[in-house]
Amino acid sequence: MGERQNTLVCAFDPQSPRISAFEIHEWINETLCLLESEVRLIQIDGPKRHVYIKLSDPTRIKNILTMTTGQAEYKHSDGVISKVRIEAVGFGNTEGSNCEPTA
């Protein structure tokens, strides 16, 4: 099992329409205010609608969680708004969640 240090998980509403990788990248930049230089890795788990974002600076995780209060929204092209839960991920388990990230 791989380590998930310095990682956020963004859990999109499982009932929402699928979102393209490009749209996810745009959302990360616009909503989480993350620059490309701050992101080391993005992993998308399509069936679960989870997006894992590994950051180069661990202090940014706390900043993002404070800024978003652990929640955000995604506005689909048809105008539908989906809720997104944002949490920090520890070593293989999401802190305070029942999510089961893959390695």
pLDDT at 100 over 50: no
Which pLDDT does position 76 carry in this prediction? 92
Contact assessment for residue 73 and residue 13, using Cβ atoms and an 8 Å cutoff: no
Mean pLDDT on 36-65: 94
Distances (CA, A) of 61 to 34, 58, 81, 89, 90: 10, 6, 24, 10, 12
Q: What is the pTM of this model?
A: 0.80
pLDDT at 97 over 50: no
For 24: left if phi > 0, alpha if psi spans -120 to 50, otherwise beta; the answer is alpha
3-state secondary structure of 5: coil
Q: How much of the chain is in helix, strand and coil states, percent to nearest 5?
A: 25, 35, 45
Provide the mean pLDDT of the chain.
85
> Which residue ranges make up each domain of the chain?
7-89
pLDDT at 17 over 90: no
CATH number of 7-89: 3.30.70.330
Q: Return the number of other C-beta atoms located less than 10 Å from residue 62's C-beta.
A: 10
Which pLDDT does position 4 carry in this prediction? 64
Which pLDDT does position 40 carry in this prediction? 95
Tens digit of pLDDT for each residue in 73-88? 999 988 889 999 999 9
